[in-house]
Amino acid sequence: MQFSFSDRYTNTPKSFLNELFRVSRDPSIISFAGGLPDTNLIDLDGIRAAASTVFEEKGRTALQYTTTDGYLPLREYIAERYQKRLGIPASPEEIQIVNGSQQCLDIIGKIFISKGTHIGMESPGYLGAIDAFSLYEPQIHTVPLIEGGPDPDSFQELIETRQPSFFYGIPNSQNPSGTSYSKDRRKELAEILRGSDCAFFEDDAFGELFFDGKPRLPMKHYLPDQTILSGSFSKIIAPGLRIGWIHAPAPVLERFNHAKQAADLHSNLLSQMILHEYLRRNDLDHHIRQITRVYKEKCRHICEHLDSLGLAHTEPAGGMFLMATLPEGLSSMKLFSEGVKAGVAILPGVPFYPEGGGEDTIRINFSSPSIDEIDCGMERLGAALSAL
């Protein structure tokens, strides 16, 4: 039979992620292309102990249905951490638990985007967001990332001429570039947005992972009533738990809650309760310091290799990614293919530029591979570059 798929799906461009996943399944390939945290830094014993306690003390409750907004003690923890760490006045009622912050992208797209709706994002921008938003057929307009964040002149022009429904950005250790907005740029963008009908959708998946341990005030601080802020436990606890959240103004949360209820009723209650028990029993700040210490060393190590290969690159202050620029005339797509032959995978920059570009850039993940894998993988990347 012929299945009648929606125009929405038929009109969506194919994602490069399928090719990435195919390559990543090959154990002989050292991958800098994915976005995985270091598996060795997952506190297996701590999570196991938390799970045991939940099953022993609240097992039947944890295996039942719950409310769409999520486990109240976990939302209280998130709100308290916002207040303690960033000085943001947050209440549990303003927070909704989701299946990883990726679900926020889909639901925000669902409630904000009609066919042809104008939206804005960074260039380069997060591939997962491009894929999620594209399903709802918006007109995507990009603002180039320069030193300190999005170019303010281009940003202002976008807000004034296109009047986008929202602008999506990652101010802290951006994926794919690894760059972070400066304090002054955050203030400047907030002033441009203030008084407009454009929301700022702030993806803060990496805000806890600054190498110096110093928190940066989010856009939510400068523009509280217009900012939709999402966060995730995937990068700091374990991605397999699939627990993230959204912190948003009441009119957004009302519609968000309704759309999520229609999608899945609620996020996994068992995971929420295990996560909360883990957070209650353990020092999260100490755990994060362990992660950032390892990531800082890996980032420094990979930057030294890129320097020796003569590749210009960004200098991340945290997070899990950086971008490198290839010599003139060299195609990142060709390097991807040649790299696979040599036993190494990088992610071409092209998919991160929805309006075109990125042919001479590559994204590199430094959180997942070990130091030995970095050494071997960079040697293979050098061989692929030489072959081209």
Statement to judge: residues 143 and 184 lie in one domain: yes
Section 125-134 average pLDDT:
96
Instruction: Kindly state the average pLDDT of the residues 8-25.
Output: 74
Same domain, 177 and 265: yes
Residue 60 included in any domain: no
Residue 55 forms part of a structural domain = no
- pLDDT tens, residue by residue, 85-123: 999 999 999 999 999 999 999 999 999 999 999 999 999
Decide if 118 contacts 139 (C-beta within 8 A). Answer: yes
Residue pLDDT, tens place only, 30-44: 999 988 999 999 999
Instruction: Give the pLDDT confidence of 227-275 residue by residue, as tens digits.
Output: 999 999 999 999 999 999 999 999 999 999 999 999 999 999 999 999 9
The mean pLDDT of 368-379, rounded to a whole number, is 97
Give a yes or no: residue 346 inside a domain: yes
What is the token pair recorded at 19? 């090719």
Residues 166 and 291 in one domain: no
For residue 9, pLDDT over 90 is answered with no
Task: Compute the average pLDDT of residues 135-139.
Answer: 96
Same domain, 313 and 262: no
Select from 281, 305, 337 the last residue of a domain. Answer: 281
- Whether residue 19 is predicted with pLDDT greater than 90 in this model: the reply is no
User: Do 240 and 147 share a domain, yes or no?
Assistant: yes
Helix, strand, or coil (residue 383): helix
| pLDDT above 90 for 16 | no
How large is the average pLDDT for residues 335-363? 95
Whole-number pLDDT of residue 363: 97
Tokens of residue 47, six digits: 């999570």
**Using 50, 70 and 90 to split pLDDT, how confident is the model at 14?**
confident
Q: Is 244 helix (H, G, I), strand (E, B) or coil?
A: strand
Question: Residue 48: inside a domain, yes or no?
Answer: no
| 132 and 85 fall within a common domain | yes
- Which one of 243, 261, 281 terminates a domain? 281
Among the ranges given (20-29, 147-156, 332-341), the one the predictor scored with the smallest mean pLDDT: 20-29
Instruction: Please state, as a whole number, how many other Cβ atoms lie within 10 Å of the Cβ of residue 16.
Output: 19
pTM to 2 decimal places: 0.95
Q: Which helix (H) or strand (E) holds 51?
A: helix 44-62
In a domain, 49, yes or no: no
Nearest to 292 by CA among 84, 33, 113, 41: 41
3-state secondary structure of 180: coil
- The mean pLDDT value for 328-348 works out to 94
- Are residues 137 and 258 located together in one domain of the fold? yes
Give 319-333 pLDDT, tens digit per residue: 999 999 999 999 999
Does residue 146 sit in the same domain as residue 132? yes
How high is the pLDDT of residue 216?
97
Tens of pLDDT, residue by residue over 307-317, are 999 999 999 99
Tokens, residue 86: 């960033």
What's the average model confidence in pLDDT over 344-356?
95
- Above 80 in pLDDT, residue 68? yes
In the predicted structure, residue 15 carries a pLDDT above the cut 90: no
Give the CATH number, domain containing residue 292. Answer: 3.90.1150.10
**Could you tell me the pLDDT band of residue 368, with boundaries at 50, 70 and 90?**
very high
Q: Are residues 161 and 32 in the same domain?
A: no
Q: Where in the sequence is the domain holding 306, given as residue range(s)? A: 7-43+285-387
Q: What pLDDT is attached to residue 312?
A: 97
Please give the helix or strand (H or E) that residue 122 lies within, else none.
strand 118-123
Pair 265, 313 in one domain: no
Decide if 53 is inside a domain. Answer: no
Going by the DSSP 8-state scheme, the letter that residue 140 receives in this structure is: E
If you average pLDDT over every residue of the chain, what do you get? 96
Q: Does 23 score more than 90 pLDDT? A: no
Domain count, the chain: 2
19: β partners: none
Note whether 293 and 266 are same-domain residues.
Answer: no
pLDDT score, position 203: 98
Higher pLDDT, 373 or 2: 373
Q: What is the pLDDT of residue 13?
A: 72
